[in-house]
Structure 1
Amino acid sequence: MSAPQGGWDRNYEDPTRRYPAASDPEAAPRPSVDAGKLWAGGFGTAVVAALVALVGILLVRGVLGVHILSPSDAGAYGDVTTTTYAFGAFAAAILATGVLHLLLLLMPRPMSFFNWIMLLVIAVGVLIPFTAVAEVESQIATAALNLVIGICIMSLLNSVGAIATRAARGAVGR
């Protein structure tokens, strides 16, 4: 069978091209995940997220004078709730790293799914402060801090995911 003259025929099969069977493991090579890089980057992201929470609380309470997460007489740092909030940001980043690892191993277009999941989790984090009984400025400050922490986690883990993912052998040039 020869290629048709003057155009492309979708029924034409090139006899020199190898068409792998669906069950052929080389048909769709999956990228490999460097778990060490992924989790090291995830830990670094968690530390940054906790520090963003701490700096945000110090800024909002100490500089702007908005009392979030603890009573006004607790000072610029707040109380144990501030520490819990920072550890919560740390834990959220570790959890996001675990989700990213699973997506990288199991899903097609894992970063698209990860970004959608993160955007929806960030939306929940921004909306939750408005469901609590508090002053409006405290609700806005907490929502803004949750937004910054979420964007920090999402953007850093996007970079980490790209670095920790390597193309599978034989996939170059396909």
Structure 2
Amino acid sequence: MTTIEYPGGSPSAQHESGNGDRRRPPSLNAGRLWSAGLATAAVAALAGFVGVLAGRALFGVALHAPDDVRMFADADAVRLCVGAAVAALAATGLVHLLWLSTPRPLTYFGWIVGLFTAAAVFMPFLAGGSLAVALIVAVIHLVVGLAIGTLITGAAASAARS
């Protein structure tokens, strides 16, 4: 006969606790989460940078600046990279807050990041610029959103302490 081990005891013992919460989520190692959040910020910024370079090198599309402006002098490209890093840090704060306050925090986090990523993908098409620029920026936003979502979710799951 197979025995099933329930975290925190049997389901009936958990229900008898009277607090209505059958299972407490494991605690979170905040230092580990935030160090991963900083690493994710670096990855997100670099993903944006590589996307800008790819747009220029592969497709000949200067995303936000004239062709004669060098990559490092392009303030809009720098803003895109800094924005990606800030978004990663905001996502780290969000998952930390959700971990402390909601049941199934990673499920809510996945939905929130997914919807923000979808909005970021559609925003370049509303800016009124050229279609080529909008497509490149949308792909960059998608890659950055996927990187943030997967890396922060993995970091939070790894930082969980039973």
Instruction: Point out 4+ residue stretches in structure 1 off by more than 2 angstroms.
Output: 17-21, 27-30, 75-78
The answer (yes or no) to whether the contact 2:71–2:77 under 8 Å persists in 1 is: no
RMSD of aligned residue pairs (Cα, Å): 1.8
CA shift for structure 1 position 78: 5.9
| Corresponding residue of 1:133 | 128
Query: Which one-letter code corresponds to 1:162 in the other structure?
Result: A
TM-score, structure 2 as length reference: 0.85
| Corresponding residue of 2:3 | none
3-state SS of 1:58 partner: helix
Match of 1:122 among 117, 122, 126: 117
| Corresponding residue of 2:149 | 154
The answer (yes or no) to whether the contact 2:124–2:137 under 8 Å persists in 1 is: yes
| Corresponding residue of 1:72 | 67
| Corresponding residue of 1:96 | 91
Query: Which one-letter code corresponds to 1:148 in the other structure?
Result: V
Q: Which runs of 5+ in 2 are unaligned?
A: 1-11
Q: Which runs of 5+ in 1 are unaligned?
A: 1-16, 168-174
The answer (yes or no) to whether the contact 2:98–2:105 under 8 Å persists in 1 is: yes
2:22 is the counterpart of 1:43: no
Match of 2:78 among 67, 77, 83: 83
Structure in which a larger fraction of residues adopt helix? 2
| Corresponding residue of 1:8 | none
Residue by residue over 1:13-58, the C-alpha shift from the partner in whole angstroms, topping out at 9 and shown as x without a partner, is xxxx746331499x63331010000000000000000011111101
2:16 is the counterpart of 1:20: yes
Which structure: larger Rg? 1
| Count of aligned pairs | 150
